[in-house]
Structure 1
């Protein structure tokens, strides 16, 4: 072997490339770290400002509470009014005030620090839409940059770090390989051997960087770190449409101070420990996971066949995708999602936009071809409960059943078909926000598909015994988190009761319906007027829509009744999108939602409340109008959650249209008592809104009770009127 492995010119060219790669590697590692520091600095600036605002609302007199009333604050209060004004004031400065001694000054400074720490410890970040806020704008811009850089750099971060450390040293060690014959003569054998080894190592790095996959990843990383920081306007637009991704990326850098117990669903310590040990490969995901979402995905991986029953709006779909992408990264190929037709299109979209997995729609005229492609290539097949009948049974690494409460009846044909697929699946993930619609026994049926031994330990008494007993019984199979526990940034939900009185024509229609015992006609009577815009409820609805449009807000209108929705749509004219009903095909349904999302701020989406309970994600709207009370309050809660969910960045207003001394008032009185029972038990339990049986009552029972009460009331009023004549 020749003394020199390369010529002087070849070595010079090799070292030049090595120098360029080393500089790029250093840029990758330093930019990634720098973008993280910018986010942390921006977050601290937001926290400091919010703490200062809070302290500005606390009068100095409150400092007595910290010291059990021992402080003499009279002289200080004459100069300082709020705790914020004292935040940066030293004890020496306070001692310059007449009547303030060293002990008092020191106690005041200590008390201010205590209050400030308490406020900061209780801080929970929630970003409101305010593009004029420079501090929050800087945080959003740095978070966007961090997220884009982190994702682009992830595939090459580890080799870039090693390359940055090695190449500079290797370049020095390789220089003797280019020495001329005379100089080489006076170079030790060890240095020459070291030089050849260094050259070989540099060439290995060159070959690594020249491979197509690595070259593409490297180029993408360099492009991301060289891209300019997004403008303020772009950052706010992105946040408005993708706020969960912003919060997810932010949570990777700073502690958003979420309730860890809530994020973990209050599972027993031994299960939490196993879940925490489970690694999660998210390299095939295109979005950041929230902490509780990562925990949910790892729970599904560890426990293998489980129910994720998170409250609506918490991203159950993305948790399922995280499980799929983790398994795909380890070589698993074929995944199957079974769901109602109403959410099939949404599943296809989520898979394609939020992961690197291929999606195949096994529903409709192209089913056979799509199934062939799925069988051949692998990926995620999405079908309906009906479509599952036409699929050949096969083993899959993961079966996902969305809206799993659809199979709560084990004797139903679709339930038995799903059960046969579960038997051949390595893992099964049930997704449902309402896993127990009526009784604990029905929830037990869902568990029996997955972990029969757990189902055998569940009995109706667990529900009666309260949350702790139920939690212990179902912990190995069931994970549930509530919005209020894990989404600290979720905007406020404001509910307004819009009370109206019947006009003459509506009153006449209502009396006829009551006397005829027609409960459904009673509920619709408030929209019986000619023209319909003269009806008091309709007039108020149009006012609310006009006000919303003037303030740049979009509106959702829900009613149980199709004819009411038709009247609403007719009255709104071109502003109306829909009506969406259960009979609207899934593809058309999504097209209506897309049109509403893309429309201007005066848009109103009109939908049957039954259609609002499944598969409708409309964060574009933040005004919700309910045309009448519902027999099942859970239906209202589900419809509202379509707007008040993760991704919503505006405060959500819910307006309930009600008529006094009518069926509306009677329904609220009766259901209010049921709601109190629900709040007493379910809101404190793992079941939360999964127990609508605690609120919902028989429609027949409710109708009889209300019709009888209203007949009696109207008869009494008629007698009183006759007595006055």
Structure 2
């Protein structure tokens, strides 16, 4: 078979020495540029267009230098200047390895002499492109086994970043976005002089530290937050990963801008959707090589949300804000047109998409740190309680500390309410409604509601439901209901039926003592344990309200707790009892060792 690439590039020369077995046509075809993707690389090809009975056929040239194409056993000419025009359009870029932005610029440029089109393979969404990738990937230093969809996601991100400066990781909550990022960092380990910067809400710092320590212990981590943070940029160049908060970035932007970071990763990136916010203005100014905003809700209100995230991930891809708002009004047609550009750099899988990969139940612990005001409040409550109740102080103090961890506004007002189930709300402390635990809960609800999911929240103290609902103002519209010790027995099933029948997202806030057994709530696929319990049986019964026969999707169960507090002791004790199979102890049972440790453990300030 002839190697046509070695044949003369000019059709005129080919006519003087035609290849054996090929016929020659004098009809000049229109030339076009086609963008494609193969083996993770983006390429541009010069093609000829032949239309037969209204059907277009694109015929590739042997190389970008050739001004003719092969059509079966016939060679057909292109305009003689097509290769030069093609070369000028690429402006020095390698046609076999184009940057994603260059490819998009070619597609959107209406002033080019040659038309430009793209294959379906190039325009495939991140989700479609990841699906056929391998089910497993070898990653040195990763202390975890990735689910197949996670391995595909990591490999897709690695390949995509080879020809883009960024992408959006938009997997739904519960699918392990953090683990996938840790795996990606291990594949391209950041050096200490150019570390990876992870920016996240305060409520997620403890979780990032814990997961890196658990899954990627070879990555050194530095948390930059609070009064002890460094004041010189060299202090940020001592670890592979630096973790900080959005507000700290704004305050210390001079420090962060003094380094070129190998990665900038923004968790809960909806925090920078507003292009006018100080947060976004600060973060987009940070020098960086690779960028990944992480959010399960890339578009919520307007298409400008997507512009803000894409322009952060791949600056300039969608033009200036003014150009974007002019060319992309908020309409379905504009959104569809925009998707042709942005879908290839967005990875968004739902739990239902990968349900076959997942266990029936996904358990996720979410450790939190008390903020500085709560640390002081926590210590003060412990000391005052022990002083006020010298005999029963230790037992009373553990309950008071549980209330502080649930919310600092809760006060035990009834002497007969031994478990503080009916604690009242007292707003006089000056502390904020939005504690780290409340903030994280609202973030989980925000993403769940935006994706149409139903959520159950278990909380030991009844008034927590009111506080959570108050904090959730501004979230997408959803059904809200509650069942606790004050709910009439005859009303409970009605509430569950309304919740299940509601067409859209919803939240049921349940007291595990009142609604932890006997109820079937399989409409919910997300369970949040807002307050830990001493007895694992009570927690297991509560989780089983959603994770039971009749449930067709995996259920994600979150446990929120504060590190270095009574809640950490409760979780440790609960795990110990569970391992023993000792699940028949009453909820309030705590031995002296539990109480002593609960009072000895002390949260620190960062």
Give 1 or 2 for the bigger CA radius of gyration: 1
- Classify the TM-score, shorter chain: 0.3 to 0.5
What TM-score does the superposition give when structure 2 sets the normalisation length?
Answer: 0.40
More strand by share: 2
What TM-score does the superposition give when structure 1 sets the normalisation length?
Answer: 0.34
More helix by share: 1
